[in-house]
Amino acid sequence: MAKPSNPLILRFALGVAVLAASLSISHALAQEERADPTDSSVLGEWVGTYTCAQGLTGLTLTIAEATPASARAMFHFYADPRNPQVPTGCFTMEGNYDPVSSRLQLSGNDWLLRPSGYMFVSFEGVIDAEGRDFQGLVSGGPRCTTFKLSRQPSPATPQEKCAFDTPTIQGDQVSAGKIAQVLADDGRIDLNILFDFSEATIRPDSRSQLDELGRILMSPLMAEKRIGIFGHTDAVGSVEANQQLSEERAAAVLDYLVERFNGPDERFEIRGFGKERLKKPDAPQDEANRRVEIVLLE
């Protein structure tokens, strides 16, 4: 006959089981959060394979810029485990991106590490609506067929020649997917498009945020909507000077979007609010007040 179980042992075992289940759920949620497509951007690493004369080949494509006016990327290829004889190489690519169709075209531009006998190739493909997969056709080399890339860790560490810096969304800047979600839910979004004191020139650290904005405003989701671009300033200076400066800041954003994304300027309405609507009223001189707000007008 078995002895009765010790209640303390049972409670301890139950606690361990609950903790393990909790940790498992937390891990699964963390994995799901990292894979959330609403955080995705066209920019960054895409990993997978492509096929040309050498056979199936591993690839990390790092996209540094993607607008209708210009796209730039690093093409870093290496052996796939199913075809281990492929050497490592890399070259830069240039092309363009259409945010309406999510079609990206890239062509080889400059060899940085070239194995003997290898040629530039070109890519033309479409990024899916969730921002998870990028696939299409390869051309430019013998027996090239297709490529298929997705958001996953690269299995290869690039050689120094193949390293490629990409712009990142800094601080509280917002990704293209979240811009779309906030605009759809709230009808407006206050983006970190920042300016130096008393200037209407867009700072370099805000350009990646504007590119994210441009991609979503020109996408099918937003392409038919009228957009308000509202400029704001900090509280330093006169009402008149700040009013003019806020209008110039809104106009600078409009000029950027029209130039980089071929957006029709009649879609946009610009307004300046000077120092009337401080983002940080308790810190009226803070640079966060020097910003631009995006608003759905209809």
Q: pTM higher than 0.95 for the full model?
A: no
Share of the chain above pLDDT 90, in %: 41
Phi, psi angle pair for 114, to nearest 5°:
-115, 110
Closest of 14, 7, 9 to residue 22, by C-alpha = 14
- Indicate whether 158 pLDDT > 50: yes
Residue 6: per-residue pLDDT: 52
DSSP 183-207: HHHHSEEEE---B-TT--SBPGGGH
At residue 134 the predicted structure's pLDDT band, cuts being 50, 70 and 90, is very high
Residue 38: per-residue pLDDT: 41
258: part of which helix (H) or strand (E)? Answer: helix 239-261
- Indicate whether 42 pLDDT > 90: no
The more confidently predicted of residues 216 and 79 is: 79
- Indicate whether 146 pLDDT > 80: yes
First to last CA, the chain: 78
- Indicate whether 3 pLDDT > 50: no
At residue 165 the predicted structure's pLDDT band, cuts being 50, 70 and 90, is low
Place of tokens 């042992």: 9
Closest of 85, 147, 101 to residue 122, by C-alpha = 147
Token pair in block for residue 249 = 């800041």
Cα separation values, 128 from 49, 94, 149, 224, 285, Å: 17, 21, 11, 20, 43
Token pair in block for residue 205 = 């650290």
The more confidently predicted of residues 286 and 115 is: 115
Place of tokens 């910003």: 291
Token pair in block for residue 287 = 């640079």
**Nearest-angstrom CA–CA distance, 103 and 128:** 9
Closest of 30, 22, 83, 23 to residue 57, by C-alpha = 83
Residue 69: per-residue pLDDT: 85
- How does pLDDT run across 87-104, given as a tens digit for each residue? 999 999 999 999 888 899
Token pair in block for residue 72 = 């730039």
Token pair in block for residue 157 = 């560490």
The more confidently predicted of residues 169 and 259 is: 259
Q: Is the backbone of residue 283 left (phi > 0), alpha (psi -120 to 50) or beta?
A: beta
Structural domains of the chain ordered from first start: 44-153 (2.40.128.620), 176-296 (3.30.1330.60)
Residue 227: per-residue pLDDT: 93
